[in-house]
Amino acid sequence: MAKKVVIVGGVAAGASAAARLRRLDEDTQIVMVERGEYISFANCGLPYYVGGVIERRESLLIQTPRSMFRRFNIDVRNNSEVEEIIPQNKEVVIRNNLDGNVYNENYDYLVLCPGASPIVPNIPGADQPNVFTVRNVPDSDRIKHYIEMYQPQHAVVIGGGFIGLEMAEMLYELNLRVSIVEAADQLLGSLDPEMAAIVHSYLRSRDFEIHLQAQALSMEGAERVEKITLASGKSIPADLVIMGVGVRPEVGLAAQAGLAIGSTGGIQVDDYLRTSDPSIYAAGDAIQVTDFVTGQATLIPLASPANRQGWLVANNICGRAMKYTGAQGTSIVKIMDLTAAVTGKNEKSLQKLGIPYKSVHGLP
C-alpha cells in the first residue's frame, strides 16, 4: 500500500523533500501545505528584485503549485495552514486561508518545514506602514510598491547582517541615502573584526552612515516613520525602514504537538532528522542542528542546508537511511565592488569557546 506524506511548508526544505520523494517513489501520495501564495521561491534573490537587478518577478519563482503538480504529481495546497497536529491519530488540521474551510488530513509521515519568521523588535512605531521585513515575495512586492509610490529619500536598515547589507546596497543603488543601525560593535558579526573593518571603511567611503553599538529607541512620525531616535539620543531621518535583525524558528506547531524543542529554540531532531515522534521529520530553518566545528547545538537558517536536509528526509522516509552530520554555516555577500565571505567560526567565537586554533593571514 502506498504511503502518504504530508509536508508543512513549501519553500526550500519542503520543496526539496517533495521533489526527492517523488523521484524515489512514484506511488507515494505527497501533500504539500504552504500558508503563503508562493512555494519554492529564491528568497536569497529578494533584495535584488527590490533593487531591479532581478528584473522579472517570475525569475524568483523556481516552482509554482501548477508546475509541481505537472512535473512531480504533488498535491500543493498553498494559501493553507496546518493549525494543529494530532500525533496519536496521525492527522493534521488544515485551514484554507482563502475560504476558511477547516478539515483533517491523515498521514503516514509528516515533514515539518515551517521555516523561520523575521524578528521585529518591540520598538514604538515599528508597526508603521513604511517599516518592512524581507522574508518572502509579498514583502519584496510591498517594498517595491512603496518606493515607486512615495519615492523615499533616506532609508534606515536595522541590523548589519547579510540580508541587511544586501538591502542597504540595493537601496543605495536606487539613489536613497542609507543608514545602517547595528547593536553589535561590527557589521557582519560572523567575520573577524579585521575583516569587518574593511567592510566598514568601504561603506563609509561611499557615504553610507554606519551606527555601531546602537539601538533604535523609537520610530517617530505622524502617518509613517519620519525619523528614528537611537538610545544615544541621536536622531536619524527615515522615510523607509528595513528590519534585518535576524529570524527565529517557527516552532509553535511542533511545540503544541508535544515535540521536543532544543536548547537553541529550534525543533530537536536526531541524526536522521526525526523529531521526538518517529513518524514526524523536520528540516530547514526551524530545526536545531549540530555545528560540526564546535559540536554544539546551533541554528543555521540558510537555504543550502535546508535543501540538503529536505533531500535527506526524503531518503530516510524511503528507507535509504542517511545521517545529517551537521553544518558550519557559509555565507557570501557582495556589496558593490566588495565581496565578503565566511565559513565556520571566527577567532572571537573560538576564543570564547576555548577551542584552540591557528590563524593564517594573507593578502591578495
Q: In this structure, what are the phi and psi dihedrals at residue 205, rounded to the nearest 5 degrees? A: -65, -15
CB 176 within 8 A of CB 154: yes
Over 80: is that where the pLDDT of 8 sits?
Answer: yes
Give the 3-state secondary structure percentages of the chain, helix then strand then coil, rounded to 5: 30, 30, 45
Contact partners, residue 185, CB within 8 Å, separation at least 6: 193, 212, 213
Is residue 113 part of the annotated active site? The answer reads no
Residue 257: which pLDDT band, with cuts at 50, 70 and 90? very high
Over 90: is that where the pLDDT of 361 sits?
Answer: no
Determine the pLDDT at residue 249: 98
**pLDDT of 120-159, one tens digit each?**
999 999 999 999 999 999 999 999 999 999 999 999 999 9
Q: Compute the distance between CA of residue 44 and CA of residue 7 in angstroms, rounded to an integer.
A: 22
Cα distance between the two ends of the chain: 60
How far are the Cα atoms of 84, 121, 279, 286, 334 from residue 111, in angstroms, in the given order?
14, 30, 9, 12, 34
The angle, 0 to 180 degrees and rounded to 10, between the axes of the packed helices 65-72 and 12-24 is: 20
Mean of the per-residue pLDDT values for the chain? 96
Determine the pLDDT at residue 292: 87
**Spatial CA neighbour of 323 closest among 311, 337, 335, 340:** 311
Residue 363: which pLDDT band, with cuts at 50, 70 and 90? low
Residue 234: which pLDDT band, with cuts at 50, 70 and 90? very high
In DSSP notation, 74-108 reads -EEEESEEEEEEEGGGTEEEEEETTT--EEEEE-S
Q: Which of 44, 195, 217, 261 is catalytic?
A: 44
**pLDDT of 277-329, one tens digit each?**
999 999 999 999 999 889 999 999 999 999 999 999 999 999 999 999 998 88
Show the domains of the chain with their CATH numbers: 4-117+247-317 (3.50.50.60), 120-243 (3.50.50.60)
Determine the pLDDT at residue 360: 84
Provide the residue type at 109 as one letter: Y
Determine the pLDDT at residue 328: 86
**Spatial CA neighbour of 34 closest among 58, 7, 72, 69:** 7
Q: Cβ–Cβ contacts within 10 Å for residue 314, how many? A: 29
Q: Which class for 214: exposed (0-12), middle (13-18), buried (19 or more C-beta within 10 A)?
A: buried
Candidate ranges 109-113, 219-223, 336-340; pick with highest mean pLDDT: 109-113
**pLDDT of 194-231, one tens digit each?**
999 999 999 999 999 999 999 999 999 999 999 999 99
**pLDDT of 9-57, one tens digit each?**
999 999 999 999 999 999 999 999 999 999 999 999 999 999 999 999 9
Q: Which residues of 266-286 are buried (b: 16+ CB within 10 A; e: fewer)?
A: bbbbeebbbbbbeebbbbbbb
Give the whole-number percent of the chain exceeding pLDDT 70: 99
Q: Which three cell numbers stand for residue 311?
A: 533531500
